[in-house]
Each structure stands twice: as C-alpha cells, then as structure tokens.
Amino acid sequence: GITLSNSPTVNVGYEVVSELPKERHESPMLSLDKTKDVEQLKSFLGEQKVVISWKMDGLTVVVTYLGGKLVRAVTRGNGVVGEDITHNAPVIHGMPMTIPEKGKVIVRGEAVISYQDFEEINKSLPEGDTYQNPRNLASGSIRQFDPKKCAERHVHFKAFTFVNALDFNGSYDASLRLLKEWGFDPVEYRIVSPENVIKAVAQFEQQIEENPYPSDGLVLALDDLEY
C-alpha cells in the first residue's frame, strides 16, 4: 500500500490546510440524462430490473482507498477536476477511514446536511454568514480549511456507486449492499421492475416531503451493470 504524506492515517489529530489543491478525477463525471415522463422510463427499461434512489441535493465527492485505507477525497468540481478535501474525511459521517478490501477502491457519493442541522447551524451563524439552503451549507462545510469547523456542521456522506463497480459486482443492488457492509451509509433505494416502476416513482414522490435530507429528483440505474 502507498501512504500519502497528507493522508489522515499518518497525521494524528486534525490537519488544518491553507488551500484546497485541485485534483483530476480518474473517471470524468458525466451528467445524467433527465426526463419527467414516467411512461418513457417504462419503455426505456424494457425487461430490465432497475434500482431507484434519491438524487441527493448536496456536493458529489469521490473517495479513493488503497491498501484498505482512505487516501483521497475530492469534490466533483467540474466533473474533470475537483478540490482535495481529504483533511476533512475523518469528520464526515458515513465515510469510513478503513475498509476490508485491500485493492484500489473508488467510491462516489453525495455530501449532504439534513434540513434539521441546516436550520440549527444557520441560527448559530452570525448574520450575513448564513446559508441559503442545505446544499450551499454542505458545499461550504466540506470545503472548510479546518476540520474542526467541518465537524461542527454534521456532514453526511451517502455513497451511491463504486466508480470501478464491475470489479466488485455485476449487480448494482449487490454493490450497494457491499458498501453498507464496509461501513458506508448508502443512499436509500428500491429495486423495481418495469411493471411497478410507475408506482414506485409515485411512492418516492409522496415520501420526499418527510425526507431528512434534500433531494432534487430520482436516479434510475439498471441493476445489471454490464448491461
């Protein structure tokens, strides 16, 4: 395994940084195709099983593990180059510092702050320093130079995929279950078939009102990753 000099596993205690270095992603992040037509989804699926999950409204972060240790956490940025926020990884909930897999593992997820924490944190900030919405607060918090400040903001990492998913499983559902076993807190999801996809979307729509975390839609991913 390689230990990077700025790795959280080397430095005991928090490391305060003076800037966020720019990092190039190994796999560029593409935008999702969007639709509001549920019937269109049904025809798109054909016979395929699909995983429906929340499209979390936060900041996408990519975390890299080598030799079972977290070595890098980088924000989405423009999809090609992001900002290195590895120093804040130890204080982000649902982002384990170690995993049982020793090979190279790259996990993508969303850093979010709950509505409740958003209200409370905003109340505690001086006037003029408050945030407009939980997404902006998550973005501002994860990019703090001082991890103690980030820790006060209760940032949660909701893992949603392995970047190198096929290395771990041919099924999306199985890969999300594996992430959970390894100590991640994956995004909430359901497996649906073309027959019940329309009903499932309606159920998610009803539930969005009570969600603790902000979401701005749903993501549908085929369970068969090769396909």
Burial of 63 per CB tally in 10 Å (0-12, 13-18, 19+): buried
For the chain, the 3-state helix, strand and coil shares in percent, each to the nearest 5, are 30, 25, 45
Count H helices, E strands: the chain? 6, 9
Catalytic residue among 55, 69, 102, 149: 55
The identity of residue 143, as a single letter, is R
The identity of residue 209, as a single letter, is E
> What are the tokens at 157?
């990492």
Question: Catalytic site residue 148?
Answer: no
Q: What are phi and psi of 156, to 5 degrees?
A: -115, 140
Neighbours of 188 (CB within 10 A): 16
Q: Which residues are catalytic?
A: 55
